[in-house]
Amino acid sequence: MPSKPRVKKNTGWRLFLQTVAARAYPRVIGQQREKSWMFFDIFLPLMGVAAYIFVYRAIGAPQEYVGFVVMGGAMTAFWMNILWSMSSQLYWEKEQGNLALYIMAPNSMMAILLGMALGGMLATTLRAVVIVVIASWLFQVHYAVSSFAQLFAVFGLSMVALYGMGMMAASVYLLLSREAWHISNLAQEPIYLLSGFYFPVKNLNFYLALVASLIPLTLGLDAMRQLSFASGPSLGFLNVRLELGVLLVLSVAFLIGSWRLLQVMEKLAIREGRLTESRR
User: Which DSSP string corresponds to 36-95?
Assistant: HHHHHHHHHHHHHHHHHHHHHHHTT--THHHHHHHHHHHHHHHHHHHIIIIITHHHHHHH
> Is 19 a domain residue?
no
C-alpha dihedral over 16, 19, 23, 28, to 10 degrees? 80
- pLDDT class of 49 with cuts at 50, 70, 90: confident
CB within 8 Å of 14: residues ≥ 6 apart? none
Please, what is the average pLDDT of the chain?
81
Residue-wise pLDDT for 123-133, tens only, equals 788 888 888 88
Amino acid identity at 185: N
Across the chain, the runs of DSSP E, i.e. the strands, are none
- pTM here is 0.83
Closest CA to 171 of 253, 237, 109: 109
Closest CA to 131 of 85, 72, 173, 174: 72
> Is 13 a domain residue?
no
> Is 73 a domain residue?
yes
Angle between helices 109-138 and 64-82 (to 10 degrees): 150
> Is 184 a domain residue?
yes
Higher per-residue pLDDT: 84 or 236: 236
Cβ atoms of residues 42 and 131 within 8 Å: yes
Tell how far CA 207 is from the center of its chain.
Answer: 24
Domain that includes residue 213, residue range: 34-272
- pLDDT class of 10 with cuts at 50, 70, 90: low
Does residue 163 register a pLDDT over 80? yes
What is the C-alpha separation between 105 and 91, in angstroms, rounded? 18
Angle between helices 89-96 and 148-176 (to 10 degrees): 40
> Is 227 a domain residue?
yes
CB within 8 Å of 178: residues ≥ 6 apart? none
> Is 3 a domain residue?
no
10 Å CB burial of residue 180 (0-12, 13-18, 19+) is buried
- pLDDT class of 112 with cuts at 50, 70, 90: confident
If you count them, how many residues does the chain have?
280
- The count of domains in the chain is 1
- pLDDT class of 205 with cuts at 50, 70, 90: confident
Closest CA to 157 of 257, 241, 250: 250
Residue-wise pLDDT for 26-40, tens only, equals 777 776 666 677 777
10 Å CB burial of residue 227 (0-12, 13-18, 19+) is buried
What is the C-alpha separation between 137 and 115, in angstroms, rounded? 33
- Give first-to-last CA distance, the chain, whole Å: 52
What is the C-alpha separation between 158 and 40, in angstroms, rounded? 25
> Is 15 a domain residue?
no
> Is 280 a domain residue?
no
Higher per-residue pLDDT: 223 or 23: 223
